[in-house]
Amino acid sequence: LAVLQETIFYPTGGGQPHDTGFINDLPLLDVFEKDGTVYHLLPEDPGLTKAACRLNWERRFDHMQQHTGQHLLSAIFLDEYGWATESFHLGQEYCSIDLATAALSKKTQAAAEEKANALITANLAVKAYTVGKDDLENIPVRKLPPAVERIRIVEIDKIDYSPCAGTHVSRTGEIGSLKILRAEKYKGMARVYFLCGGRARRDYGIKHALISELTALFSAPSAELLHRAEAELEQKRSLEHKVQKLQSELLSCKAQEIASAADTSPLFIDLPQGSVEQAQELARKIFELGSFSLVITVGDRLVLAHNLADFCHCGDLVKEKALPLGGRGGGSRFSAQAYFPQPEGLKEFQAYLKKHFQIPS
């Protein structure tokens, strides 16, 4: 840890992450404040009394855009709707604020975003200054700080006055733009996700590229993409329903065929292209035709089932014989499943069942 007489690096605090950069060409890993002292975490001792500091300006300016954008957005929600900001998060991918309201409509989100971008375009002055606690009576502070002698205020041209120690742009125009991504309910509040400046621009670029790909894929203009996607999904659901109906009819035919030709107990059935759900449905259809015991293999899984009064407990059989062979699974008296990560285990379990029930190979 290094302590400097003065520092250009912002420590983590107030919802804003720390700066990064270099001290004597050593990468700065963390910056934090404790008991009024700012500590700089480095991979090794710089070993010098003088420090050459180099700030990661791209990260700093990004944080400035996001933080001032947050002040602007919070002021709008408070002034226009009476909702205070309870917390602020500035992450690597997105920013969020928690508002003192249970819900936030899309219409309100759009109106707040429009207002924020109008104030950004107005290029209002942003300034920071320190005042004594007695001066706070003359300043319409958005959120009163704890009792302190002096407090730093960040003002956005008579629109917002917030106690804040963070880094900010000098004019709202430097925020660039603000985009609200979405809002969700969170612990009785509304959590609003948003991006500012370079983040908003990059997000737009990604989404524009995606829209371009989708317009080519659907052969439709962007305004019709939602309608085309909904139509495709409806067609997919319709086809899936038809496929399920045909599969059910096919399983009914297969059940009739198996039941009429049954000559052993249990019956060994192979469904190489099926699923466990289809195996279970096949078992139900066979049981509707009489009393049977079944061993159905589906890929690396095996389904045991019966509707007999004097047959074995399927779940116990899997636990006692399949698990020692590397299998996993279990079940009830009348139905159980076993899964084998290794094909050798499945083959050994099948061989055991045939031998146990005296089924000719």
The full 3-state SS of 253-270, as one line of letters, equals: HHHHHHHHCCCCCCEEEE
pLDDT in tens, 156-179: 998 999 999 999 999 999 999 999
Token readout for 65 is 């855009």
- On the question of pLDDT at 361 being above 70, the answer is no
Strands 95-99 and 293-298: unpaired
What pLDDT sits at residue 272?
86
- On the question of pLDDT at 358 being above 90, the answer is no
Of the candidates 71, 130, 78, the one whose C-alpha atom is nearest the C-alpha of residue 101 is 78
What CA–CA distance (Å, rounded) separates 282 from 289?
11
User: 1-55 has which fold?
Assistant: Elongation Factor Tu (Ef-tu); domain 3 (2.40.30)
CATH superfamily of 59-216: Threonyl-trna Synthetase; Chain A, domain 2 (3.30.980.10)
Cβ neighbours, 10 Å, residue 216: 9
Cβ neighbours, 10 Å, residue 242: 10
Distances 305 to 256, 263, 294, 340 between C-alpha atoms, Å: 17, 17, 5, 18
Specify the DSSP element, H or E, that contains 338: strand 335-339
What CA–CA distance (Å, rounded) separates 173 from 66?
13
- On the question of pLDDT at 15 being above 90, the answer is no
What pLDDT sits at residue 72?
98
Of the candidates 315, 320, 316, 325, the one whose C-alpha atom is nearest the C-alpha of residue 350 is 325
pLDDT in tens, 194-213: 999 999 999 999 999 999 99
What CA–CA distance (Å, rounded) separates 252 from 188?
51
Report the share of the chain in percent with pLDDT over 90.
Answer: 81
Lowest mean pLDDT among 97-111, 135-149, 313-327: 135-149
Residue 78: pLDDT band (50, 70, 90) is very high
| C-alpha triplet 271, 277, 283: angle, nearest 5° | 70
Lowest mean pLDDT among 20-24, 123-127, 131-135, 215-219: 131-135
- On the question of pLDDT at 149 being above 90, the answer is no
Higher pLDDT, 65 or 143: 65
Q: Which residue has the tokens 């389904």?
A: 303
- On the question of pLDDT at 343 being above 80, the answer is yes
Q: Going by CATH, does the domain composed of 238-356 fall within 3.40.430.10? A: no
Q: Starting at the edge strand that comes first in sequence, how are the strands of the sheet with 26-27 ordered?
A: 26-27, 21-23, 53-55
What CA–CA distance (Å, rounded) separates 3 from 10?
13
- On the question of pLDDT at 309 being above 90, the answer is no
Strands 85-90 and 26-27: unpaired
pLDDT in tens, 246-298: 999 999 999 999 999 888 788 999 998 889 999 999 999 999 999 999 999 99
Domain spans of the chain?
Answer: 1-55, 59-216, 238-356
What pLDDT sits at residue 143?
75
- The per-residue pLDDT of the chain, averaged, comes to 93
What CA–CA distance (Å, rounded) separates 274 from 181?
42
For 275, the 3-state DSSP assignment is: coil
